[in-house]
Amino acid sequence: MNELPWLVERIEQWQKLLAGNKIPHALLVSGSKGVGKKNLVYQMAKMALCDNLQGNQVCESCKSCQLFNAGNHTDLKMISTEDDVIKVAQIRQLSKDLILSSSRGNYRFAIIENAERMNSASTNALLKTLEEPPANAVIILTADDTGRLLPTIKSRCLKINIDLPQRLISKKWLLDSTDFSEQQIEQALSYTNSTPLATKQFLELNHLEKCEQMLDELLELAHGTKNILEVTKNWLEEESLQMFPYLANHLMQIIKTKMFADVPTNDKFTQFSTQQLYSLIQNFFRFLKLNNKSLKTELLIEELLISWKQSFPT
């Protein structure tokens, strides 16, 4: 069942807790975006709910596994939000659901994805539930950034961190589980901090082509074959704006390669000085910080491009 090799150790830990009847009421699963947190918490819940668990293998045929696979297990509730904030009403509903007795006389799971998105009202509501958890209720929080969670929440959770797998392990998994070429995978890993699931998504959404196109435009700007107005117009598209964090990651990777690698990379951007690249990265972060804060997106992009252009002596 487990197709993500770097999660094996965590699954085994969970199996031991299950076998020893030592499942805590609250857990916090942390790790970088795209490392497999959701995959892990689903497996944890599925294992605990399966009627015929053998070792760490779920049976896939019991009533519970069937409900789970159909996506409507009544003993699994989930808050999964794309919004910036998890609202107090969502936490209250979840707590109510947990108090209802289990439909199958077993554990009841509540998963709160991106728990760092709780505001103070929803955090307080959750704290109340964590202080007096209903019998057999298991609350699992996931977070990319645990630094944004209150210590009072964290101290009540068993912490499970998913370490970023080594680049080679991510690369092998991507080669085995996708149709992308080794070269595409190598390139994509550099845009996504080598985070495996994020890299897969990055490739599937054709972000690699988009990012390469934007880097080409920076090159054309540097060589004077395109002007700032043309590039600004292209970069104003929503899809282009979403690439900014990936571009910053990639440029940082180039700097690291320039500084530490024995062999030169063939990336077009290695020709630029570390200082030029750093300044460009800083301008990407500046944009991400200031955009949507009453300043005009167009103006911010222009500033970024002008600064890049000016880093070349005329």
Q: Where do contacts with Zn ion occur on this chain (CB under 5 A)?
A: 50, 58-59, 62, 65
Minimum CB separation from Zn ion for residue 49, in Å?
Answer: 8
Our CB check for Zn ion shows the closer of 49 and 231 to be: 49
Our CB check for Zn ion shows the closer of 106 and 201 to be: 106
Our CB check for Zn ion shows the closer of 52 and 93 to be: 52
In angstroms, the Cα distances linking 296 to 130, 218, 287, 303 are 43, 21, 10, 11
Neighbours of 64 (CB within 10 A): 24
How far does CA 250 lie from the centroid of its chain?
17
**CA atoms of 47 and 49, how far apart (whole Å):** 5
Minimum CB separation from Zn ion for residue 79, in Å?
Answer: 25
**CA atoms of 238 and 178, how far apart (whole Å):** 27
Minimum CB separation from Zn ion for residue 162, in Å?
Answer: 24
Our CB check for Zn ion shows the closer of 47 and 214 to be: 47
Which residue, chain included where needed, has tokens 């505001």?
119
Which residue, chain included where needed, has tokens 């947190």?
37
Minimum CB separation from Zn ion for residue 63, in Å?
Answer: 8
Minimum CB separation from Zn ion for residue 55, in Å?
Answer: 13
Minimum CB separation from Zn ion for residue 51, in Å?
Answer: 5
Beta bridge partners of 295: 291
User: Which of 298, 176, 293 minimizes the C-alpha distance to 236?
Assistant: 298
Q: Which amino acid is at 209?
A: E
**CA atoms of 305 and 314, how far apart (whole Å):** 15
Our CB check for Zn ion shows the closer of 65 and 189 to be: 65
Angle, CA of 10, 15 and 17, to the nearest 5°: 100
Our CB check for Zn ion shows the closer of 51 and 163 to be: 51
Minimum CB separation from Zn ion for residue 60, in Å?
Answer: 6
Our CB check for Zn ion shows the closer of 60 and 186 to be: 60
Beta bridge partners of 79: 112
